[in-house]
Amino acid sequence: MWQSLTDFPLASLFGGMLLGISASLLLLFNGKIAGISGIISGVLPRTATSSSTSKSTSHDRTWRWLFLFGMVAGGLFAAELLVGELLSGTWSADLDWQNSVPTEFSSSTLALIIAGLLVGAGTKLGNGCTSGHGICGIGRLSMRSLVATITFMLVAAVTVYFRLHVFA
Amino acid sequence: MFYIIALISGLLFGFGMVLSGMIDPQLVTAFLDVTGAWQPDLAFVMGGALLVFMPMYFLFVKSKEKPISADNFMLSALIQIDKPLMIGAALFGLGWGLAGICPGPAVASLALGNSDVWVFFVAMLAGNYFFNFKLFTRK
């Protein structure tokens, strides 16, 4: 837990509020849900069993690409502004309220591949991830999203328990 | 306007992901480690997002017939809590707990010079794509 008031996770709170502003804008103006797994799904090549209701048009693909491009650029901008030394390519968190930007993960490549496959398949089958269900779904008081969010949080916590305390 | 909003929303979303700490698997793992050295910071990410999104939705969106720059709201019509939802959420939770990274943070990290993100990201696309016709289909 936090040792003092300065440990309060302001960056997480403000970052979260930005996600909320983003999701609000996208829904209010464009009528779209800011669910990242869903937005990505819509730009992947169609497959035989893709639901026929989500017919892909170039209009639909264009906004998705713009959103995703914005995300990549926004992430880079945030990293440069908050923790990067411009152009030197190093990310270090010097200010105590900042979160760090990892340049590598501690998981093995195999674990990353398995995790990626599970996340890709799971979000497809469950129609959403942390953003779609956790923010937009719960924000609309959707019971489906609430149940999905509780489920993936619980399973993730149990997975971490096994990772850190059983197989460590 | 429609495309500009899509771009601006994306920028804010990517910025928020990095600022919030969601892109750091160590912080995610610490948040999920409820029986160990639990670090509740990331609860404030969803909390902060809902703090903004929920009132916006109920005050401004719900009463509207159509969005400002488009013809209709594309909201999920699904209401049933069914097996695909539960199995999907569980698979997602398993993957999230395993690597500490989920789709939003992965996309926001693609330009940060971290090749591990790309390994996860490509595997995620493959999981999404092949899942379509290989394993299950939703009725």
ipTM here: 0.94
SS3 for A70-97, per residue?
HHHHHHHHHHHHHCEECCCCEECCCCCC
Q: Which two tokens stand for residue B38?
A: 């639990």
Out of B16, B44, B76, closest to residue A22 by CB: B16
B13–A74 C-beta distance less than 8 A = yes
pLDDT over 90 percentage in chain A:
65
Residue A52 predicted with pLDDT over 80: no
State the best of B96, B118, B121 to mutate against chain A, taking most chain A CBs within 10 Å. Answer: B96
Other C-beta atoms within 10 Å of A49: how many?
13
pLDDT of residue B134: 47
Cβ-count burial of B105 within 10 angstroms (0-12 exposed, 13-18 middle, 19+ buried)? buried
Contact list in A for residue B108 (CB cut-off 8 A) is 71-72, 74-75, 78
Rounded Cα distance between A74 and A69, Å, is: 8
The arithmetic mean of pLDDT across residues B86-105, rounded, is 97
Rounded Cα distance between B135 and B139, Å, is: 13
First to last CA, chain A: 23
- On whether any CB of chain B is under 8 Å from the CB of A97, the answer is no
Which CA distances in Å does A1 have to B1, B37, B40, B45?
44, 8, 7, 16
Residue A5 predicted with pLDDT over 60: no
pLDDT of residue A58: 87
pLDDT digits (tens, 9 = 90+) for A122-151: 999 999 999 999 999 999 999 999 999 999
Residue A85 predicted with pLDDT over 90: no
Alpha helices in chain A (DSSP H): 10-30, 36-41, 58-82, 109-125, 138-139, 143-161
Cβ-count burial of B78 within 10 angstroms (0-12 exposed, 13-18 middle, 19+ buried)? middle
Contact list in B for residue A20 (CB cut-off 8 A) is 48-53, 56
Out of B34, B89, B107, closest to residue A126 by CB: B89
The arithmetic mean of pLDDT across residues A7-33, rounded, is 94
pLDDT tier, B139 (very low <50, low <70, confident <90, very high otherwise): very low
Contact A31, B62 (CB under 8 A): no
User: How big is the CA angle at A144 (ends A143 and A146), to the nearest 5 degrees?
Assistant: 60
Contact A40, B128 (CB under 8 A): yes
pLDDT tier, A90 (very low <50, low <70, confident <90, very high otherwise): low
Rounded Cα distance between B73 and B136, Å, is: 28
Q: What is the pTM of this model?
A: 0.91
- On whether any CB of chain A is under 8 Å from the CB of B74, the answer is yes
